[in-house]
Amino acid sequence: MCDFNNLDEETRSAYHAQLIECADSLGGKNFFLNLLEAIRKNKPHPLVAKTTTFSYANGTIKWNKVIFQDKISLLLKERVNESGRGNFLPKSSDKNYKTVMNLIRTLTPIEFKIKPKNRDDGAGFSVKAFDMISPEQTKINPLFDAIFFCSIETVKKVLNYKPNEA
């Protein structure tokens, strides 16, 4: 999702609809952007919190397993390579294949539940880190990528995108 300008019209529209739906479930675009700003400002990265919780002004994110810094570092490194090869997994002959497979096995069962502080703002939503397309093909979930890693400017661009009317 972070390379939004290079996506086709159909994919852009799908990402836009998905982000709008998530933003609405948190109280709107501004509440969603506040979440992203809080995540970007937090050091160290919120995903390495030992409490498996991240609280921000308008809500919380909870997940069910501690994630260590080495996994986040590897995720950041490999997500850059994903768009070039169309797969998060490197070729099985690559030397870091086993390490990336372990990362995927570690993060795949984790579900991130994002809920607003005020129930009147919305019901919140859940997201997983990866989309398993087949045993040989895995992609980082675009919503997970947008929430935790993409620049806020890119996410704003997706939220404000106007799909072409046919």
Tens of pLDDT, residue by residue over 148-161, are 999 999 999 999 98
Residues 136 and 148: their CA atoms lie apart, in Å, by 25
Closest to 149 in 3D by CA, of 57, 45, 59, 52:
45
Domain boundaries defined on the chain: 9-157
**CB contact set of 6 (below 8 Å; sequence gap of 6+):** 83
48, with CB counted inside 10 A (0-12, 13-18, 19+), is middle
Instruction: Give the confidence band of 1 by pLDDT, cuts at 50, 70, 90.
Output: low
Predicted TM-score (pTM) of this structure: 0.89
Residues 118 and 26: their CA atoms lie apart, in Å, by 9
Residues 130 and 132: their CA atoms lie apart, in Å, by 6
The answer to whether residue 166 scores a pLDDT higher than 70 is no
The DSSP-derived string for 132-166 is: EEETTEEEE-HHHHHHHTS-HHHHHHHHT--PPP-
Tens of pLDDT, residue by residue over 122-143, are 899 999 999 988 888 899 999 9
